[in-house]
């Protein structure tokens, strides 16, 4: 009974191709690793529409001559254990694209040449950068401003030192005033302590 190939796009049916060559069919390997390689090579996944069985085969049109054992006594085409289908119609190589042609100055139309002569290109960025700016200040003024900014400002330490000196002077003045007030109070206390004696003397004198 004629069989067919399970590879997509392959229309081979029977044991002879269109050119008259003999075609053999090969079952999927029993080894799971090789079986997965075959499934990946033919670009089909097992599912409801494709289930691998003993009747599922790949024709010899998808194998290289190096994939077969040579000089087999029985005359049958025996695949090597490591053979994997590699010839498929959906793997056609695209021809390399030609590189684009380079335009030369001679290929530029004369009308474009006239336009470029009448309208010269704008100044390059280098020319614009080198041109002096009207709003730019003189270099000497810029240097003077930098010198002013670089002058050292009074530090916080010096300000604190001055403030401490002022506070110390105020404290010394307050101490002097306090000592003077204490001396005055002491003198007043002495005078008050002498006051009763003078009163007693005045009474004695009056009695005489």
Closest of 32, 30, 87 to residue 64, by C-alpha: 87
Residue 158 burial (C-beta neighbours within 10 Å; 0-12, 13-18, 19+): exposed
- Domain parsing of the chain, residue ranges: 25-91, 150-208
Predicted confidence at residue 96, as pLDDT, reads 60
Residue 176 has pLDDT above 80, yes or no: yes
Place of tokens 């119609």: 89
**Per-residue pLDDT at 141 exceeds 60:** no
Lookup: tokens for 100: 């684009």
Q: Mean per-residue pLDDT for 25-29?
A: 94
Provide the CA 47 distance to its chain's centre, in angstroms.
44
pLDDT digits (tens, 9 = 90+) for 40-96: 999 988 888 899 999 999 999 999 999 998 866 555 788 999 999 999 876 555 556
pLDDT of residue 85: 95
DSSP secondary-structure letter at 134? Answer: T
């Amino acid at each position: 009974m004629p069989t067919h190939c399970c590879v997509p796009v392959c229309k081979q049916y029977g044991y002879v191709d269109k050119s008259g060559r003999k075609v053999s069919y090969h079952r999927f390997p029993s080894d799971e690793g090789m079986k997965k390689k075959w499934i990946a090579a033919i670009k089909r996944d097992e599912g409801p529409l494709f289930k691998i069985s003993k009747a599922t085969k790949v024709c010899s049109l998808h194998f290289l001559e190096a994939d077969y054992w040579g000089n087999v006594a029985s005359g049958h085409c025996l695949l090597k254990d490591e053979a994997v289908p590699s010839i498929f119609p959906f793997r056609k190589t695209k021809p390399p694209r030609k590189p684009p042609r380079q335009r030369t100055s001679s290929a530029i139309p004369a009308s474009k040449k006239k336009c470029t002569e009448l309208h010269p290109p704008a100044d390059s960025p280098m020319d614009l950068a080198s041109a002096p700016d009207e709003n730019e200040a003189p270099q000497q003024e810029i240097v003077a401003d930098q010198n002013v900014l670089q002058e050292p400002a009074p530090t916080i330490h010096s300000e604190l030192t001055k403030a401490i000196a002022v506070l110390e002077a105020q404290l010394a003045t307050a101490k002097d005033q306090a000592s003077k007030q204490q001396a005055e109070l002491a003198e007043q206390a002495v005078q008050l302590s002498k006051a009763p004696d003078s009163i007693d003397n005045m009474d004695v004198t009056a009695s005489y």
